[in-house]
Structure 1
Amino acid sequence: MRSVIRTFFRGVRLVMTPFMLAQEKLSTPKGMERTPEEQAQVDEACRELALYQFRSCPFCIKVRKEIARLNLPIETRDAQHDANHRQALEQGGGKVKVPCLRIEHGDGQTEWLYESSDINRWLESRFG
């Protein structure tokens, strides 16, 4: 029974993925405008950030839209299809759960922030 349920949901995900990605493309907001100096500071700050995500995860799409809205050049890392990123997420964050924002602080400490709403709130408070 468990395998039937798992197969069903894999099929649903397979059918829904193209629609979700198309919806993301069509509804992603335009990035906010900054002066070149401000954008350079934001670009520098974003070098310390990385988003671990699955391409078709609805919560990851929510975070990617916020990243686009805030015009942030944050590196995205595919933890679904890249074994190295998946392993880094599990070892650093303690679990393979997406979305997860990896934040490297200036003092050398690394913070792993889970939950799309928490990530979006942090991004807004930091860059909004």
Structure 2
Amino acid sequence: MSIEVGSKLQGKVTGITHFGAFVELPDGSTGLVHISEVADNYVKDIHDHLNIGDMVEVKVLNVEKDGKIGLSIRKAKDQAQQSHRPQRHNRANNRAKEDFEAKMARFLKDSEDRLSSLKRNTESKRGGRGARRG
């Protein structure tokens, strides 16, 4: 059985490192699921998602000439299983968006005020006539 890019296979987790998990495939070869391909959300500790001996469905991302196999658990999920929620347009979302826009505008104004104040203070200390040197 040859491993083809894009195929979905069942595999067994045989090893876990800080950068990913090694999965043994049905033909006996081993591939790597990088930590970024374990779940849709950020994975700080891979042990929160996988354990040695777990059976997982993986999708083959690439097969290198030297035999290395790149795998993904998150891309093996069907589109229906993934949590793609339709965005609802209600008052709470609109209010949250307005709150964000207001916060961003306030942040930009404060940032520009601080930057102009910093420039004023810095330029007055650059020297020139009458400036003291410490």
Same fold, TM-score > 0.5, yes or no: no
Flag the structure with larger Rg. 2
Q: TM-score, normalised by structure 1?
A: 0.22
Whichever structure has more strand as a proportion of its residues is: 2
Whichever structure has more helix as a proportion of its residues is: 1
Higher relative contact order (CA 8 A, sep 6+): 1
Q: TM-score, normalised by structure 2?
A: 0.21
